[in-house]
Amino acid sequence: MDKLLEVRDLSAGYQRPVVQNISFSIRKGELAAVLGRNGCGKTTLLRGLTGGAKVMEGTVLLDGQDCAGWDPRRKARKVALLPQRARLLPGLLVGEVIAMGRYPWTGPLSGGDREERERVRAAAARFEVDHLLDRDCAQLSEGQRQLVQLARLAAQDAPILLLDEPNTALDFDNTALLFDRITQMVEGEKCALMVLHDPALALDRCHRLLLLDGGRLVDDITVAERREEELQAALRRLYPSIRVRREAEGRFYCLPD
Ligand SMILES: Nc1ncnc2c1ncn2[C@@H]1O[C@H](COP(=O)(O)OP(=O)(O)OP(=O)(O)O)[C@@H](O)[C@H]1O
């Protein structure tokens, strides 16, 4: 069983369904992007997988098991979410925020033994925020906040990673760091599903593209299996002006017409 995440006929939303009849699966070692226009339901899809939106129909299997009725702690041991806009309470230290990622394993009241403190430090080092561990969260830049949240996600050490626009506040090099680190984590027996607004980054760094339009999954693409013009035709369904180019060495570029 190498399907870590499997979604069958999922409809999820708030008062009414926002995403409908969504089916896909993600295997161990896969990094998949969710692409779609503003308001099409990307965040709601991720929330439907973690409990933030109501599942109205369908089934979500985490590591082969239907997660309906699981308590939050059991779920958090399987799936970690980097929300689109995470709030960090002023007064909390960076190290304390990253340690929250360990709660599904340790509970909130554990002060953390040496091994736990080392896990937090290693997660911080992975996203190069270990020099900020004693800093008050209120004193961070937006990009530093995003890196701290990524470190919290790493500390959680769940096999399924969900990331909602994880690079919005990151500079050029930290965006590369993000993709390098998530790729390393995925290669180490995890999978990731990442909402992105940059199709070039998605093509370049992700194995799969899930295209969402009006709350429906309209395409599920394995990038390596499609030619440049097929990828462009698929992406034009979402972004009519997009032009996709693949350089000789395989890198992708996307520009508007
Ligand atoms: N808490 C909520 N209650 C009711 N409707 C909501 C709620 N959150 C989002 N929606 C609606 O659900 C739809 C999809 O929103 P969602 O945030 O999932 O889109 P998105 O694809 O992530 O958008 P963006 O790219 O702009 O972040 C929108 O029409 C939005 O107004």
pLDDT in tens, 90-142: 889 999 999 999 999 987 766 668 888 999 999 999 999 999 999 999 999 99
- CATH of 3-78+159-256, picked from 3.40.50.10490, 3.20.20.70, 3.40.50.300, 3.30.497.10, is 3.40.50.300
Residue 62: count of CB within 10 angstroms of its CB: 20
Q: What is the ipTM of this complex?
A: 0.98
Q: Which atom of ligand 1 is nearest to the CA of 15?
A: 4
Looking at every residue in the chain, the average pLDDT score rounds to 94
pLDDT digits (tens, 9 = 90+) for 9-37: 999 999 999 999 999 999 999 999 999 99
| Mean pLDDT across 140-148 | 95
Q: How far is the CA of 41 from the centre of ligand 1 (A)?
A: 6
| Mean pLDDT across 176-203 | 96
pLDDT at position 1 over 60: no
The answer to whether the beta carbons of residues 246 and 235 sit under 8 Å apart is no
**Nearest protein CA to atom 25 of ligand 1, as residue:** 38
pLDDT digits (tens, 9 = 90+) for 39-51: 999 999 999 999 9
Q: How far is the CA of 45 from the centre of ligand 1 (A)?
A: 10
Q: State if residue 81 touches ligand 1 by the CB under 6 angstroms criterion.
A: no
Q: How far is CA 200 from the centre of its chain?
A: 17
Q: How far is the CA of 108 from the centre of ligand 1 (A)?
A: 31
Instruction: List every span in the chain annotated with CATH 3.40.50.300.
Output: 3-78+159-256
From residue 152, how far is each of 40, 49, 120, 160 by CA, in Å?
27, 19, 8, 14
